[in-house]
Amino acid sequence: MNLMANILINVITSFLGGSLLLGLHRKIMARIQLRPGPPIIQYLLHSLKFFFKETSLPKTASPVFYISIVCILAGIWTTGVIVGPVTQGSLLIMFGIYAVYKIVEHNMGSSSGSPYGKLSCVRAVFSAASEIPLFAVVALIFFQTGTLSIAGIIHYQSVNGPLIFTIPLAGVMFFILLLTKSPYSPFAITKGKELISGYETEHFGFLRGFLMFSESIAWFIMSWLFLTLFFGPLSVVYYVIGMIAITVVTAFINATSPLLNPNHSVMLQITIAFVCIVGTIIMMVV
């Protein structure tokens, strides 16, 4: 197939799929909390709705970064689509994309001049310190499979069976990372409700729609990555089932657990990362 067509189809699929998954996430959380909740399609409608809303530039903002950071977020997740489903390239690039995602949280918060965004920006630095060790899961995968190319890892799993059976603790680490990025997560200290919407507070109007577009792609690609890295070569049906399962599980966790305070969130993530890294290395040696 034509490469550009492939990329476009994948970007649109991940946007639509990611939006529906996040809508489902909200719906399930609502039902657990005994509310009717919005329809599943609501997230998608919201992202489109924002494109027609009133938008203006705050006087206190740093204009270049205020707008370009949203484009950068879309750009990196387009790269994510290319490195992930389209070419199945290197996992290290995915790591880089994740790092830029953290930077976007940081800069989107500080570039508006709002106190809520600023607090979120400082918290993004704290949370990066614990999420980056969690992403060190790529090193564990490398020790097990000898490659960091996603295509190579899929091939390894088709020969040796899914990685979730050989290095389950690494799977736990990646799942915690996914959980951190899900809405209303106990670890989402940058978006905590005491900061209104954290770093997203000042990005209203079409910029918010743009942001939601990228975030749905991000959710789709990260669950795709989790399924691909730990459950081996899967067909489309299993991807759909797996993504829905991940969304349901994270929704259950988020609906029933409180938002952690920043120190506790960081310490818990660091502890999980440490236990899982040491545990995986012990399992590999034994």
Partner 1 sequence: MNKQKIISYTLLLVSILAIVYALIFNPADWIVYGIAIVFIPCFILSFGILTMAKPIDDEKEERDEEPFIGY
Partner 2 sequence: MDISSLGGDFLGIIPLGDIVLYLTPFHLFMCVVMLLFTFLICISKTETQVEASFGKLEDTKVSVGLNEFKQRRFLSIICGIATAGAMITGDLFNFTLFMALIGIVNIGIVSAVKQTSVLNAAYQYGLIAMMCSLPLFGGAAIILASTGTLSLFELSNLATTSAMTVFGALLLLIGILGESGVAPFFATKAEMFRTPGSPFLVIIHLSSLFVVIRAIEILLIIIKVI
Q: Which of residues 49-88 bind partner 2 (CB under 8 A)?
A: 59-66, 68, 72, 76, 79, 83
Residue number with CB closer to partner 2 (42 or 149):
149
- C-alpha separations of 132 from 91, 114, 118, 236 in Å: 14, 26, 21, 30
Contact 10, 86 (CB under 8 A): yes
d(CA 57, CA 259): 31
Q: Is 129 in the site for partner 1 (CB under 8 A)?
A: no
- Count of positions on this chain that bind partner 1 (CB under 8 A): 41
Q: What's the burial of 30, exposed, middle or buried (CB within 10 Å: 0-12/13-18/19+)?
A: middle
Q: Which of residues 158-217 bind partner 2 (CB under 8 A)?
A: none
User: One-letter amino acid identity for 164?
Assistant: I
Query: What spatial distance separates the first Cα and last Cα of the chain, rounded to whole Å?
Result: 45
d(CA 45, CA 160): 43
Query: Residue 209 has which token pair?
Result: 């729609």
Q: For partner 1, which residue of 13, 37, 42, 51 counts as binding (CB under 8 A)?
A: 51
Task: Give the distance from CA 50 to its chain's centroid.
Answer: 21
Q: For partner 1, which residue of 33, 35, 45, 57 counts as binding (CB under 8 A)?
A: 57
Residue number with CB closer to partner 2 (37 or 113):
113
Q: Is 207 in the site for partner 1 (CB under 8 A)?
A: yes
Q: For partner 2, which residue of 25, 27, 102, 191 counts as binding (CB under 8 A)?
A: 102
Q: Is 235 in the site for partner 1 (CB under 8 A)?
A: no
**Least gap, CB of 21 to partner 2 (angstroms):** 26
Q: Is 196 in the site for partner 1 (CB under 8 A)?
A: yes
- Torsion angle, alpha carbons of 105, 107, 108, 114, to 10: 120
- Count of positions on this chain that bind partner 2 (CB under 8 A): 53
Burial 242-259 (b: 16+ CB within 10 A, else e): bbeebbeebbebbeeeeb
Q: Is 278 in the site for partner 2 (CB under 8 A)?
A: no
Q: Is 204 in the site for partner 1 (CB under 8 A)?
A: yes
Q: Is 39 in the site for partner 2 (CB under 8 A)?
A: no
- Radius of gyration for the alpha carbons in the chain, expressed in angstroms and rounded: 19
**Least gap, CB of 29 to partner 1 (angstroms):** 18
Q: Is 8 in the site for partner 1 (CB under 8 A)?
A: yes
The number of C-alpha atoms within 13 Å of 216 and in the hemisphere containing its C-beta is: 29
Q: Is 197 in the site for partner 1 (CB under 8 A)?
A: yes
Query: Residue 150 has which token pair?
Result: 């996603």
Contact residues toward partner 1 (CB under 8 A) are 2-5, 7-8, 11, 51-61, 67, 70-72, 74-75, 78-79, 82, 112, 114, 116, 196-197, 201-202, 204-207, 209-210, 213
Residues that bind partner 2 (CB under 8 A): 59-66, 68, 72, 76, 79, 83, 89-90, 92-93, 95-96, 99-100, 102-103, 106-107, 110-115, 118, 121-122, 124-126, 128-130, 132-133, 136, 138-139, 142-143, 146-149, 152, 270
